[in-house]
Every structure is written in structure tokens, then in C-alpha cells.
Structure 1
Amino acid sequence: MDTHQILGFFEHRTDGAWVCVKPFTLTTRSASVDIQRGMRFDYGKRVGGVDLAEYLERLGSQFGS
């Protein structure tokens, strides 16, 4: 999967949160984490060592969210 394809697994809410719409496994350098549909990620919530909301925001601004 290309890096930006992760955006297809999330919906960006107007309050700034990212919510998972399709389950998948997030694999980082430090962990492999199952992300389930409905999980919400706000700034500061780290998953597998990554602030997922911040990461998705950067990708969204680069590739469109």
C-alpha cells in the first residue's frame, strides 16, 4: 500500500478528528496495531508510536483528504 492510501481508511471530521471507516492493520517501526471501524483519533493520541491524527492531516494536505 502506498503511504497516502491510508487516507481511504479514514474520514476526516469537522471537529478535526479522524475516524476509521474500514478496519486494517497499521504497521509501524515499533508495533503492529489492529485499527477497527469506528475508532477515533485526535491530535496527541499515539498509536504504534505515531500521532495518527497528525500523520493523517499531513497526508491529507499533501494528497487531499
Structure 2
Amino acid sequence: MDEIAKIVVEEFDKKPDGSWVCVKNSDIGTKSGNIIRIAPGMTFRKGSKLWGLDIAKALDEISAN
């Protein structure tokens, strides 16, 4: 399974319910070299996956550091 190699946390806004919403076009890079384009308005919740990737979990981990 692929893993996230690059994601820009500033392109997402964390909501009070813990979900993350994309606020501008965002390209997520994976370790296998794939690029996933995320459009503004897309919402991600922990445990939900897009192409096998838990975007909310990755954003939570990055924002905690």
C-alpha cells in the first residue's frame, strides 16, 4: 500500500469536529511517485480513505509536530 510522502497542511483547514477541509488546490505526493490532486471543498475524516490513504490522519500527525 502506498504512503503519503508530501502534503502541505496549510492547504487544509481543521474543523471543530476533527475533519479537514481542503481550502485550495493541493497536490499530495506518494512514496511511489504518484500525485493526487485535491480540490477545494473536499472534506476528510480520520479513518476514511482516498486511494487507500488516510488524509486526515496524515494531516493530524503533521500538525501535531
Q: Same fold (TM over 0.5)?
A: yes
- Among all aligned residue pairs of Structure 1 and Structure 2, give the percentage whose two residues are the same amino acid: 32
Give the TM-score, by structure 1 length. Answer: 0.76
Whose helix proportion is higher, 1 or 2? Answer: 1
1:41 is aligned to 2:44: yes
Q: How many aligned positions are there? A: 59
- 1-structure distance, mates of 2:52, 2:64: 21
**Over aligned residue pairs, what C-alpha RMSD do you find?**
1.8
Secondary structure of the residue aligned to 1:11 is strand
**Other-structure match for 2:10:** 8
Which structure 2 residue ranges, 5 or more long, are not aligned?
1-5
Q: Deviations over 1:26-52 (max 9, x none)?
A: 121353211000000001122343211
1:41 maps to amino acid: F
Give the TM-score, by structure 2 length. Answer: 0.76
